[in-house]
Amino acid sequence: MASNTIKEHIPHVQDMYREYFLEYASYVITDRAVPHLHDGLKPVQRRILHALREQDDGRFHKVANIIGQTMKYHPHGDAAIGEALVGMGQRDLLVDTQGNWGDPVTGDSSAAPRYIETKLSKFALEVAFNASTTVWQRSYDGRNLEPVTLPMKFPLVLAQGTEGIAVGLATKILPHNFCELLQACIAILKKEKFKLLPDFPTGGLADASAYNDGQSGGKVKVRAKISVDDPKTLAITEVPYGVTTASLIESIVSANEKGKIKIKKIEDKTAAKVEILVHLPAGADPEKSIDALYAFTSCEVSISPNCCVIFENKPVFIGVSELLEISVQHTVSLLRQELEIRKQDLREKWNFKSLEQIFIEEKIYRKLETADSSEAIISVVDKGLKPFRAKFLRDVTEEDIKRLIEIPIRRISRYDANKANEEMIALDKAIKETEKNLKGLTNYAIAYYENLLTKYGKGRERKTKLPRGGFSAIDASEVILSNLKLYMDREGGFVGTALKNVGGAEQVEGEFSALDEVIAFKEDGTFVVTKVSDKAFVGQKILRVEKFDRADDSAVYNLLYRDGRGGATMAKRFTIGGITRDKQYDLTKGSAQSKVHYLEVQPGSQADKVMLHHVPQPRIKPTLAVNFEDYPVRPRGTQGVIVTKHAVKKVERLTKIKQG
């Protein structure tokens, strides 16, 4: 009975979990991790700016106070708010800062919130706020109102860049140049072509040839700026986006320890500007060393953008060009709303000024003495204004009359008709200008962007250089140092660069680099391909180890092996072909206790000739000549051809014979 009850409830519980998970995923996507297209802000950033606007008095505020103010709107604690505010301050666009706000280039953290101060920048006050065009909603506890989105008249998300991880999706939008964004907005309004490429606050060099308009699948390579101070010193003065000076230095030291590059020492002299000095050993080529730094350290990083934003209350994946076009349309819509509101305000002001002018100049206020009640006063004023109603922009209301009769007598006695006329002329001019801007809304929007460019564009020029044609490819195998000594422990089955002092270890012929692969053949006829490392286990009883080149398809191996404990001796010529690193392959038939008698590698046009010596037995020839040219080259999986069924004592190499 209990079992049936549980089974009956399982579908209901499954539905509950599905519903709860979808609600959670939706919340994380739309209300935490992904910015909104219209204002380019995540909810925590929007709430911080709203709190700053509420507190704004032109002076700096302690960050701790702003965090507390924001907690009225953001339900996720002070740590998330403080971290988001510091990130906004380091971008130096929406908020002005005072104190130690940390440094994203060096990785230094900011001072505690009680020590640092902030306020809204003039730019933010101009582009991000307008209570009349803001759509409001209740905060999480219902006590306050907060904006659904700020009326942002600027493509903020493209200027600042952002990244976030939600449930089932992520976003990574790269920052773009402030001035270029405004120029692109103007180009859109003028119906001209434009192109957006990222610009990073850390500078450096970038190859954005595969940017893919910021969508998934694109890639941007970013390099540090490295110059040659002198033949023995390289100077790094700009770091790639997302890389700190500390992590960059760590990557260089690590590459040096692994033998990928060779440096003498490294100095970090970073202060207000990045300055990392890399000292090279005597005889080192500076240009080749720069290429090696790009190939093996964080001096070059690859960034994969993935532009995802919230639009119409759901996440959308979109290109940065289309995003900018939608942003421009939204800005034009906001400008239209502002103009319409301004026009309405001006008309109301003009209308009341006209009422006031007639009320005073026609001495209607004197007739109020005859009225003995509020209704009578309103009636007297209404009757006095009746002959002039055609001049007004709308019908006279009771509220208008109440405002007129509340005018202080002192103001009436000091009334200046000439000044009033001038004010009316100015209002007329302002109304006509507003109507003109509404009719020519596109030109007005262009002028708006041009004004932003003029006022705030200075000092925001492009920092990241984009070399024409992108970066030239660096072949890591050409710039890596081949100065590593490799050793093998035959019995233990280890191969590596750190086995020099291991008893019985032998040095492998040649010099190796950290990029090289080696092939290790064992006495039982198996082999493994592995990468050069400090120490790698390949299997006991190693027969030989040598450098392995996947690109070389001309290498042909000549093999004689015994099949099993007392089986026949087989001969084969083969190529290695495609292999998987660190996977064991068998060159024999796979019988237990098989043994390799002879193994050599030759170019494809050559073959070995060997003399096979039998274990002495009656009526058995003591030797047998084997010419490998008699055997065609086959894939490595070929089992081979029987050469002799008798026990073999040894195999002696005689000569190499060229094929026809």
Residue 141 amino acid letter: D
Contacts (Cβ under 8 Å, ≥6 apart) of 495: 486, 487, 488, 489, 508, 518, 520, 530, 535, 536, 538, 542, 545
Q: Are 407 and 356 in contact (CB under 8 A)?
A: yes
Contacts (Cβ under 8 Å, ≥6 apart) of 611: 623, 624, 625, 626, 651, 652, 653, 654
Residues marked active site are found at 115
3-class state of residue 310 by DSSP = strand
Q: Could you give the CA distance from residue 587 to residue 155 in angstroms, rounded to a whole number?
A: 63
Q: Are 346 and 431 in contact (CB under 8 A)?
A: yes
Q: Is the dihedral of CA 26, 31, 36, 40 positive or negative?
A: negative
Count the neighbouring beta carbons within 10 Å of the beta carbon of residue 421: 12
The single residue listed with the structure tokens 């073999």 is 648
Q: Is 550 left (phi over 0), alpha (psi -120 to 50) or beta?
A: alpha
Q: Are 469 and 213 in contact (CB under 8 A)?
A: no
- Ranges of H-type helices in 297-319: none
3-class state of residue 603 by DSSP = strand
CA-based nearest residue to 147, from 135, 161, 132, 164: 135
Q: Is the dihedral of CA 209, 176, 151, 428 positive or negative?
A: negative
Q: Is 6 left (phi over 0), alpha (psi -120 to 50) or beta?
A: alpha
Q: What are phi and psi of 407, to 5 degrees?
A: -65, 125
Q: Could you give the CA distance from residue 488 to residue 497 in angstroms, rounded to a whole number?
A: 9
Q: Could you give the CA distance from residue 406 to residue 404 in angstroms, rounded to a whole number?
A: 5
